[in-house]
Amino acid sequence: MDNKERIYIFDTTLRDGEQAPGYSMNLDEKIRMAQQLESLGVDILEAGFAIASPGDFASVQAISRAVQDVTVASLSRALEKDINAAWEAVKEARRPRIHTFLATSDLHLEYKLKMSREQALEKAVAMVRYARNLCGEVEFSLEDATRSDLDYLCQVVEAVIKAGAQVVNLPDTVGYATPDDMKRMVGSVMNRVPNVDKAILAVHCHNDLGLAMANTLAGLQAGARQAECTLCGIGERAGNAALEEIAMALRTRNDAFPFYSNLKTEEIYRSARVLTSITGVKMNPSKAIVGANAFAHESGIHQHGMMANSLTYEIMTPESVGVLTTSLVLGKHSGQHAFEKRLVDLGYGLGKEEVIRLFGEFKSLADRKKTITDRDIIALVESTSKPSSVTWELDSFVVNSGNMMTSTACVTLKKGEKKFQEVACGTGPVYASLRAVEKIIRHPFGLEDYNLQAVTEHRDALGEVVVKISDGSGIYRGRGVSTDVIEASILACLAAINRMLDESVPRNVTGVKVTSAPNFSNDMLSSHSDKQKESSDE
């Protein structure tokens, strides 16, 4: 590609991103997200922190088996037990990588690790060598690199490359650096480390001061060739550099950043939709690239310019990131062929049975809604994906409610061929309905979060409800859509309930049995409490 240099995209949505409050995912959801990131074209997928818990180990292992065209990495501290767990989790991947880290700033060495510089250097070298004896590809991160002494930083980089690290990451762990700091640090390593040509330098920037994106680009300009990032910038505290922003900066401002990546940018919007569908966390409408307002123009002068020439107010096209600009309107007279074609156009590759089931849902919706748009179809697909074992289904409900009375709900659920009915009261129709559901399933749960929004405009718009429930052992998400917001609420709650009841069955969507992590001891499990403290290597 001319003289342009390639930038490798290291996605840590499933590790650093998943550590952010509200973004935790179950096994099936992680695999779905991993497969979408593979479709997006990321080069390296950091699947998790294998030592943190048996669940983390199982998810890294399952992702390693589920993807084919991407390197799968597991994070590990610079400890043999961590590295062993990481290797066991990723060894079945087509391209496995162990990603190990150790802090190098005097602040971390003194107060967290209780090590001298010499001890840390010796530990880093020994653990890189240990990892290389297990895995052919090893990445080493110098935690808190941007606050490390530059001479010592260069010394560690040279030593770990000599020990076998093919990738060396220089993270801005706490988002403290400025673009000038990043250029100075990366440039110094490029100029002062004699064997730097034998490894790829990476940058991993946090957004505590809102500079993650600028710092990442500065690092690339100075010589780094791996960008570590997350979808939509999710991550601990204020998050990470956003994958979609890096991708479109390289594409839109190639004059300033003469690099290229293998990302399929047309998959960006769909990837963001998958993330919000899985986590239930709504995106800021003003979010760059993928926010609802990113390609919206309300100002009169902007609209006039857009009609004359879109370049007046758009520096990239909606199509370049996969945003839908045309809408084929379907209705109750539309056939299955047209519906199936629209699913394909929207990027859904579904099996025949799933298409038939969704077409039935579509026809039912069409009877209640005059016209159905792309956004309605997307909401329908994403809200009706079922867990591997569906226990409870909605049969019917009747609600009595008013501003001068206590709401009463009579709900009937199906479990197999049997029907169960209960009546409950509440301060509102939704509350009464969910209490009736709880009485039927006989499994107490608390409503942790409830979000209702319209999918489209007008009076017949679909209501989309996302709920989070908890039974004390975990938090489970569910999504439901309907032209009736009470029905949408019950459907969302049942989706979460079925996941809650299904969670006790250990498996993954590939159908392969998940084996246990090797030698998980109490000491290893206790490292889960260190996850927030130490796993944000970066």
Domain annotation covers residue 135? yes
Same domain, yes or no: 263 and 133: yes
The pLDDT of residue 523 is above 80: no
Same domain, yes or no: 132 and 97: yes
Highest mean pLDDT among 144-148, 379-383, 523-527: 144-148
Same domain, yes or no: 244 and 366: no
Same domain, yes or no: 407 and 371: no
pLDDT in tens, 91-117: 999 999 999 999 999 999 999 999 999
* Nearest alpha-carbon partner for 41 in 197, 246, 241: 246
Instruction: Compute the mean pLDDT over every residue in the chain, rounded to the nearest whole number.
Output: 86
Domain that holds residue 495: 393-502
Same domain, yes or no: 32 and 148: yes
The pLDDT of residue 361 is above 60: yes
pLDDT band at 325; cut points 50, 70, 90: low
From 100-114, 426-440, 473-487, the region with the lowest mean pLDDT = 473-487
* Nearest alpha-carbon partner for 339 in 319, 318, 360, 320: 360
Q: What is the rounded CA–CA span in Å between residue 372 and residue 366?
A: 7
pLDDT band at 390; cut points 50, 70, 90: low
pLDDT (0 to 100) of residue 441: 95
pLDDT band at 483; cut points 50, 70, 90: confident
The pLDDT of residue 305 is above 60: no
From 82-86, 135-139, 238-242, 483-487, the region with the lowest mean pLDDT = 483-487
| Average pLDDT of the residues in 214-227 | 98
pLDDT (0 to 100) of residue 25: 87
Same domain, yes or no: 80 and 127: yes
Domain annotation covers residue 309? no
pLDDT (0 to 100) of residue 14: 97
Of the residues 260, 280, 300, which one is the last residue of a structural domain? 280
pLDDT band at 163; cut points 50, 70, 90: very high
Q: What are the backbone angles phi and psi of residue 450, rounded to the nearest 5°?
A: -140, 125
| Average pLDDT of the residues in 176-188 | 98
pTM over 0.85: no
Residue with the bigger pLDDT between 333 and 509: it is 333
pLDDT in tens, 231-264: 999 999 999 999 999 999 999 999 999 999 999 9
Same domain, yes or no: 379 and 398: no
Same domain, yes or no: 28 and 145: yes
pLDDT (0 to 100) of residue 472: 83
* Nearest alpha-carbon partner for 380 in 396, 364, 397: 364
pLDDT (0 to 100) of residue 474: 79
The pLDDT of residue 502 is above 90: no
Total domains in the fold of the chain: 3
Same domain, yes or no: 125 and 262: yes
pLDDT (0 to 100) of residue 509: 33
Highest mean pLDDT among 189-198, 275-284, 370-379: 189-198
pLDDT (0 to 100) of residue 350: 80
pLDDT (0 to 100) of residue 302: 42
Residue 283, CA distances (Å) to 231, 273, 275, 451 in order: 11, 9, 10, 13
Of the residues 364, 383, 402, which one is the last residue of a structural domain? 383
Percent of the chain with pLDDT over 90: 61
Same domain, yes or no: 471 and 340: no
Q: What is the rounded CA–CA span in Å between residue 538 and residue 526?
A: 21
pLDDT (0 to 100) of residue 535: 47
Same domain, yes or no: 251 and 371: no
The pLDDT of residue 511 is above 70: no
pLDDT (0 to 100) of residue 308: 53
Q: Burial, 129: exposed, middle or buried (Cβ in 10 Å; 0-12, 13-18, 19+)?
A: middle
- Residue 80 sits in a domain whose CATH number is 3.20.20.70
Are 234 and 20 a contacting pair, CB within 8 Å?
A: yes
Say if strands 446-454 and 200-205 run parallel, antiparallel, or are unpaired. Answer: unpaired
Same domain, yes or no: 44 and 122: yes
β-bridge mates for residue 422, sequence order: 411
Domain annotation covers residue 288? no
pLDDT band at 507; cut points 50, 70, 90: very low
Residue with the bigger pLDDT between 526 and 187: it is 187
- Residue 411 sits in a domain whose CATH number is 3.30.160.270
Tell me 113's DSSP state: I
Domain annotation covers residue 196? yes
| Average pLDDT of the residues in 16-38 | 90
